[in-house]
Homo-oligomer: A and B are copies of this chain.
Amino acid sequence: MLQTTAYKALTSDTLSTRLGELTSLTSRVGTETKDWKIQEVGDGNLNLVFIVEGSKGSVIVKQALPYVRLVGDSWPLPLYRAYYEHEALVRQAARNPGTVPEIYHFDSDQALIVMEFLSPHTILRHKLIAGERVQGLAAFLGTFCARTAFRGSELSMKSSDKKTDVSLFAGNIEIPAITEALVFSDPYFNAERNHHTPELDDVVNELRQDVELKTRVQELFMSFASNTETMVHGDLHSGSVMSTATDSMVIDPEFAQYGPMSFDLGMLIANFLMAYFSQPGHRSEDTLDEYQEWILAIISESLVTFEDEFTTLWNNERTGMLYPPTLFEDQGHSSQAALQSLLNRIRTEAMGYCGIEMHRRTLSLAHNADFEEIKDNTVRASLEARNLMMGRELILTSDQILDAGTLVALARQYNKGDFL
């Protein structure tokens, strides 16, 4: 269908010529390629993203680039990651239908996916900076995390299918290596790629001198690198969620890998906490409290929904080899204590990953717009410091965050702190 099989990056000018005969595309946007409006909108670092609009409708064309865009072409990345992104989308669609974009076409050679154009959805992070609310957001995200975690694990899957999938995804080495470097290593020493707001120097030095903190981070790193419990999204921040006022979808699973069931939940909560702490940089006093409390409610409800949905799945879909009903219910024994113990472990780990994500987004290469868009260095630094210090507490006391209430109370406390 494509004119070439050797990889070549698309441009707005070549797209209609190269993809104009693709029926999976023309059936959705129309065959009159000369009328297509083509716009490159990628704001990520790894891909080209085009909106192709025709008389019949619009689609997204996403193509992997052979390098990390953020750092020029100095960090080459294999194109096969589009294959894993495609595989991840297929699994997420099966495990939580209707929550990720529909795939119309996949071309492995061109590292290219044609998929559903979400409209009028916009990136959730921008909404959080703008102070917009999204109905049903926490229920959507908590459910997404629970279903993908549970249904991708050996609590649910046939063990042989899951192991075959682990083998498949273990072939993806370079993408996890980015997370390993930028998330778990760089923030905790003076890595060359790092940058942070200069006013944070003292706080950053304090963190990097904290051996207990670094030890706990390495424990979580070891688990991230070795624990193949389930297929995780791997980069579930507010830039990987697109929403309208009432609907949300998860996008961009190009960092998908087998990892801990706690990982996506922890990443997600971290990004809401960063949205929370950054609000004084985006909003005047009259709406600040109310909007911050809305974000805390999202955090709280996401965690509660995760645990509720996980419990429902545990009670109704425990068909894998782990914690089998054969050993519990079939013997007249409740498995609820076992479930609670597992949920406690997941929550403890999630709090640890949450703290690490809060650190790396302020200290490592890739920062969040939530803080970056605050132009006043002094204001930004004071808010980032709250974020860094709460991150540390979460990492060090992760097993003491016993419920959502404790977590949001801690956030309110750090939100009042002056650490500079």
Contacts and interface: CB of A to CB of B under 8 A. Distances in A.
Contacts of A171: 164, 167
Contact of A326 (B170, B189, B333): B189
A112 to B, nearest CB: 25
Contact of A211 (B180, B219, B322, B328): B328
Interface residues of A, number: 49
Nearest to A167: B170
B173 A170 contact: no
B208 A331 contact: yes
Nearest to A176: B163
A331 B189 contact: yes
Main secondary structure of the interface of A (DSSP, over half): helix
A245 interface: no
A227 interface: yes
A361 B334 CA distance: 27
A349 to B, nearest CB: 13
Contacts of A212: 337
A180 B320 CA distance: 12
Contacts of A167: 167-168, 170-171
A326 B209 CA distance: 13
Contact of A322 (B188, B222, B330, B337): B222
A226 B159 contact: no
Interface string A195-218: 000000000000011011011001
Contact of A164 (B166, B173, B214): B173
A154 interface: yes
A228 B228 contact: yes
30 contacts: A154-B222, A154-B226, A159-B177, A159-B180, A163-B170, A163-B176, A164-B170, A170-B170, A180-B321, A185-B324, A185-B326, A185-B327, A189-B327, A189-B330, A211-B333, A211-B337, A211-B338, A214-B327, A214-B338, A215-B341, A218-B338, A219-B341, A219-B342, A221-B322, A222-B229, A222-B322, A225-B321, A225-B322, A226-B227, A226-B228
